[in-house]
Chain A
Amino acid sequence: MKKTPTPPKWATAFLTAYCRPQLLEDLQGDLNEYFQRNLQSKGAFLAKLIYVLDVLKFFRPYTIRKPRLTIQNRNFMIGTYIKTSSRVIARNKLFSGINIFGMAVSLSVGLLVIAYISDLLSYDSKLQNKDRIYRVVSGFHPDGNPMEMKLASTSWKAGLLIQQQAPGIESMVILRNWFRGDAQIKESKIPVAGIYAGEGFFDVFSFPLLKGVASSALKQPHSLVLTETTAKKLFGNADPMGKLVKFDTVNYTVTGVLKDIPKFSHIHFELLASLSSLDVNAPATSDGAYMDWTNFFSNYVYVLLKKNTDPAAFAAALEKISAKENASLTLDHKVFLSPQPLNKIAYGHSMGNEIGEVINPAEVYILGGLAIVILLSACFNYTNLSIARSLRRSREVGIRKVVGAKRIQVMGQFIVESVLIALISLVIAFFIFLFLRSQFLGFHEDIARRFSLELSSGPVLGFIALAFFVGIVAGLLPALFYSKINAVTVLKDASSLKVFRHLTLRKVLVVIQYTFSLAFIAGTVIGYHQYKGMLRFDLGFKTENVLNIDMQGNKDEAFAKQLAAVPGVKMVSKSLLVTSLGSMTGGWMHYHGDSSKVDMNHVDENYLPLHEYRFLAGRNLLHQTKEAPNSEVIVNQELINRFNIGHRDPNKAIGEILTWNDHKLTIAGVLQDFHYGTLESRINPTGILYLADPGTYVNVKLAPLNQAATLTAIETLWKQLDAVHPLQAKFYDDQIAFAYSQFSVFLKVVGFFAFLAICISSLGLFGMVMYTMEKRVKEISIRRVLGAEQGGLIFLLSKGFLFLLVISAAIALPLTWLFFQRVVLRDVAYHQPVNPADLFIGLFFVGGIAFVMIGWQTLKVVSANPATVLKNE
């Protein structure tokens, strides 16, 4: 027998779920009846379709179950609270508008910070056993300095010793950075960068392998494990397993393919090469031999502790190992090992030699601090405006109390109201947040690389929690205020209410708001001038129209000659590094038994004239052939001062002999002091040597006109020289701007917050002025009838608010000035003096806005016809 079709079960289930019980049976019956009817007239398929459509159509307000609130607590009548609150919000458009806007703006910033922190917390969070992974880091005392300096790296030997001697270790891996070069596959060359990794890599880090065997992939020398993206880059869609990749002259075999490393990981690489590829017996480099205890600059050791191992015991084991190895060493060579938990790596105090990204806690504190200030500002607005309109609402509260409301119930009413406003704001804030996010990520490439600010369940819950929290904070004071009202007094005479007792509180809040606004804007203006000052700063040499080309290991001799022939190129020089950007090299210089650390650059004979360095005495370096040893040096004034050569007289210093790496160097010239480091550091003794080896950079001075054509010509030349690597040429001025880009990002952020703070506090002031004027309309009219002048009245009305502004300025401006002098600029060795005028630009601006608002409102009140006003009363 054929089974009779029945209505779709899920539709029936849906109906049962949403329909009110008292309507359900009847409705279901009707639908069944129709279904049977349609089954005969239209067939099974249509009957089912119609049934489903009908079920959906019956989803109407009158059929839906009411969500049953089971809170039966009489002290907290949430239903009524919400109802009356939404009415109050709808009725007071100005009040709600100002508060919703202010809260939405400030909440959006809060959301940004929450998303930011959530990103921070997701660093390395996908790894298995993340609680048991530790990195071994090194502390040492450079030059015997008692201050310990921490490096994220440690020695290879330390890793091996730990594996042998430290108890409770499940697995250990040694990483070594700087595996980079051009991957040669048949004819093509593709530059890649990766790290060396020991065979324990996959035991410690649970990065999933797509192909290959985790236990053996990194065992054999010259094995390569590629990430998915790298595999695609090198081999396209072909299977890379077992293929050969040539670096220089050595063939590597691909033994595995990794899933791409997640964005939120403190280690990033394109490929892993087996650590065993390195020849540990190779001759010592400048850092020492591979296995030296003191060669701790390029290796990273990670361990996975056993489940029951006490981290403190592990730390003690590390101390023991260090003590044993350090026993025969002097302080400046001692290395102290300590463990660092995985979750402290990406977000923690930055050490030297980090393997990947580290987010400075200061960034988080600053961002969080600013967001809290903005959020508080919006809360203050709410508090102030709620209390300011107390004349209207106190009667309502009076009646509530007469009818029998308890204090806690009145409080509940006001808290619910502010939470409701916060939740409405949250919806708007969410859209502002989406906009802010794109702006914020666009501020600097670093931010976009380290953060995505994506939303997942965590941040979204955080958003809602934040809205509740802000609502409660904002509503707390008004709730306390209103709940204290004495019903009898209020109902007898509303004006007798002691609002004025709270006037001080409101004034304090306004002053706090404006103090922050003024401080923010003054800080932005000062910072902007400092930043511009840094870019314009006279470094002691000229950087305009100088193009620095990174040679990327290519020979520069012929290239430099070709460049010099390009029309539009004025001059070409070579150098080991580009100064004033923060990178440096140097060593110890000796003079008559005295020695000092000296910054050093190696350049050719064109370098100094090209950058127009200023000579105090002597002459430029002479052209030398490659083989000739360095015999001459050019020094700066500071070096002469440091060694007290020729009693600090540049002319007498010429011809003096210095010792550098056991070479005797004659001082050929003395330069006026110039900035070798960034402006944050003091000028050190500096020397300049002739560059015998090929340089890392070629510096090209361009004619100011028609630079685009010159750049194209340079690019063509480069392509002939090196077809694999793209040209890396940057203008010196742009490089300097980039070196200080953290300042500019900081400025943008603070400036943006300043803007928000001003918006919110201005709105708040606007609301306050409006309510105050409302209260004083009668007074003003009587005054006018009695013959008061308009000007006098405006002064009378606005002086209170202007006075608050003056107090805020008196607090904010000196504090900002001190903050910059004592905190910010103290670490910047060379900076512009803080111009007092900068402080007042902000004041002028904020004061202007406030004045226009106050003036506008007072003028409105003052110019109303007093007869009409008094008649209405």
Chain B
Amino acid sequence: MKGTHLGEFEELVLLTVASLVNNAYSVAVCDDLSRHADRTVKLGVVHAVLNRLEEKGLVKSELGEATATRGGKRKRFYVVTGAGKASLVRSKEIRDQLWQKIPNLALNRIG
């Protein structure tokens, strides 16, 4: 297994997968991310990241139903695994801790 460190984009994708619950397949993730992150997200990149997350064991996937728009091809739905959840929680904790360490004064003084 490769390192379990989460990159920024990986974290975003993982969060999106978690938020989409039962409808997390590549195109949906891509659309959702584009909407929330306010940047154009390429399908190829999302695909690669999902693939990497699966290799790391943070998500797992299975094939779902086929639709006409997909030319009769099935979707691959992703679900966050226990390890995925743990690493999401871990990275949120790190952020929270860092946020708490910043005195209010210090932030206010910037900009």
Contacts and interface: CB of A to CB of B under 8 A. Distances in A.
Interface of A: 7, 23, 25-34, 36-37, 54, 57-58, 60, 62
Nearest to B66: A29
Nearest to A36: B69
A33 B27 contact: yes
Given A25-B63, A60-B48, A62-B48, A30 B26 contact: yes
B76 A26 contact: yes
Contacts of B67: 33
Nearest to B73: A29
Contacts of B76: 25-26
B70 interface: yes
Given A30-B27, A34-B27, A54-B43, A25 B74 contact: yes
A33 B69 contact: yes
Nearest to A39: B69
B73 A62 contact: no
12 contacts: A25-B63, A25-B73, A26-B63, A26-B75, A29-B70, A30-B27, A32-B69, A33-B27, A33-B69, A34-B27, A34-B43, A54-B44
Contacts of B74: 25-26, 29
Contacts of A27: 47
Given A33-B27, A34-B27, A62-B51, A26 B73 contact: yes
Contacts of A28: 70-71, 73
Chain B residues touching A, range = 20 to 34
A54 B44 CA distance: 7
Residue from A28, A32, A33, A57 having most chain B Cβ neighbours under 10 A: A33
Given A25-B63, A26-B26, A54-B43, A32 B48 contact: no
A58 B42 CA distance: 11
A26 B61 CA distance: 11
The 7 closest A-B pairs by CB, nearest first: A29-B73, A29-B70, A32-B71, A26-B76, A57-B44, A36-B69, A32-B70
A310 to B, nearest CB: 67
Interface string B42-85: 11100110011000000000010011011101111000000000
B55 to A, nearest CB: 8
Nearest to B44: A57
A33 B31 CA distance: 12
A411 B66 CA distance: 53
Interface in B8-42: 25-27, 42
A23 B51 CA distance: 9
Given A26-B75, A30-B25, A33-B70, 13 more contacts: A25-B73, A26-B25, A26-B63, A26-B73, A28-B73, A29-B73, A30-B47, A30-B70, A31-B43, A32-B71, A54-B44, A60-B44, A62-B51
Contacts of A57: 42, 44
A577 to B, nearest CB: 80
Contacts of A31: 43
B33 to A, nearest CB: 14
B31 to A, nearest CB: 10
Nearest to A12: B71
Contacts of B63: 25-26
Nearest to B71: A32
